[in-house]
Amino acid sequence: MAILKVEDLKAYYMTDVYGTKRTVRAIDGISIEINENEIFGIAGESSCGKTTFMKVLSGAVKSPLAIVDGKALYNFGDGSLDILSLQEDELRKIRWKSISC
């Protein structure tokens, strides 16, 4: 059973500085599935998007980072929950109860 399923996740940094708009595709189409009792590591070169990916998975998305597409579905035993669709108060409860453990 998958405890985390990420589907075609896209998260971009979008900036507008002095009229110059830029988009950095930090996460561009990641899909993974992590099953119960699996150990999963994330490795990569400097500035490849590891921290951004973890921010998105924990729901800690703040401007200029924006979710463009995809889902991050957690299964805490009571069905799938898309963390990207939750409000801040709901995120806080889940982070404290389930993600930070």
Q: pLDDT tens for residues 16-32?
A: 999 999 999 999 999 99
CB count in 10 Å sphere of residue 8: 11
Question: What's the pTM?
Answer: 0.84
Q: pLDDT tens for residues 61-80?
A: 999 999 999 999 999 888 88
Q: Which fold has domain 2-99?
A: Rossmann fold (3.40.50)
Who's near 55: CB < 8 A, 6+ residues apart?
61, 65
Q: Name the DSSP class of 59.
A: T
